[in-house]
């Protein structure tokens, strides 16, 4: 069993920054790809970014490319999402997820473990 817990969300102003963390317990995340997704009320879940276990294969969704950065610290079993230049349209619940296959990317069906989500609200 893998438990994922997101933290770091909150209410910020447009242009501000936040760093989300996803702490894993249970099985090690080594060899797992990790992903970030977000979902706004009434909208479908959107891919934000993913990172493979060595941290050298990273993919971002088009809407966040150039503003968000995903990273991981396997020694701490933690994945991060640094969000800069936040916009009101970034407002959503952000989820982290683990893909045991190691592929990750936007292939949501590959993610077997999910956190509970953390709310990010960006005011204008």
Q: Tokens representing 49?
A: 């970014």
Whether residue 30 is predicted with pLDDT greater than 70 in this model: the reply is no
CA separation for the pair 6, 86 (Å, rounded) = 18
Instruction: Report the SS3 class of residue 103.
Output: coil
pLDDT in tens, 91-106: 999 999 999 998 889 9
Give counts: helices (H), strands (E), the chain.
0, 11
What is the reported pLDDT for 72?
93
The overall average pLDDT reported for the chain is 94
State the DSSP code for 19. E
């Amino acid at each position: 069993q893998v438990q994922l817990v997101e933290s770091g969300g909150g209410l910020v102003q447009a242009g501000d920054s936040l760093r989300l963390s996803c702490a894993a317990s249970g099985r090690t995340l080594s060899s797992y790809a990790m992903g970030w997704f977000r979902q706004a009320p009434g909208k479908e879940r959107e891919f934000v970014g993913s990172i493979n276990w060595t941290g050298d294969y990273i993919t971002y969704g088009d809407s966040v490319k150039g503003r968000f950065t995903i990273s991981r610290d396997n020694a701490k079993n933690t994945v991060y999402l640094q969000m800069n230049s936040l916009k009101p349209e970034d407002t959503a619940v952000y989820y982290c997820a683990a893909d045991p296959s190691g592929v990750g990317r936007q292939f949501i069906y590959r993610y077997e473990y999910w956190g509970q989500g953390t709310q990010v609200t960006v005011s204008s």
